[in-house]
Amino acid sequence: MLIYAYFVKILVVVKAAIEFIREVRVELSKVVWPKKAEVIRLTMVVFVFSAIVAVYLGGLDFIFVKAIEYLLKA
């Protein structure tokens, strides 16, 4: 009887997994995927923004390092 209950639990899990995969396929068919040009444009926006933030944070780091060096030498 214990083996039967274990088999039923496995069957329930497998059925739930199959149903989940079916639902995922249905939802993915509703997705409006971006065009190649849009992906490239938005990727460039991310690169430019990341570069700006990197320069800004690098500048702040440089200023703080120089300030601490000045304070420690005094």
State how far the Cα of 40 lies from the Cα of 35, in Å rounded to an integer.
Answer: 9
State how far the Cα of 62 lies from the Cα of 74, in Å rounded to an integer.
Answer: 19
> Over its length of 74 residues, how does the chain's per-residue pLDDT go in tens digits?
678 788 889 999 999 999 999 999 999 999 999 999 999 999 999 999 999 999 999 999 999 999 999 999 96
Q: How many helices (H) and strands (E) does the chain have?
A: 2, 0
Could you tell me the pTM of the whole model? 0.60
Among 52, 73, 70, 51, smallest CA distance to 62 is for 70
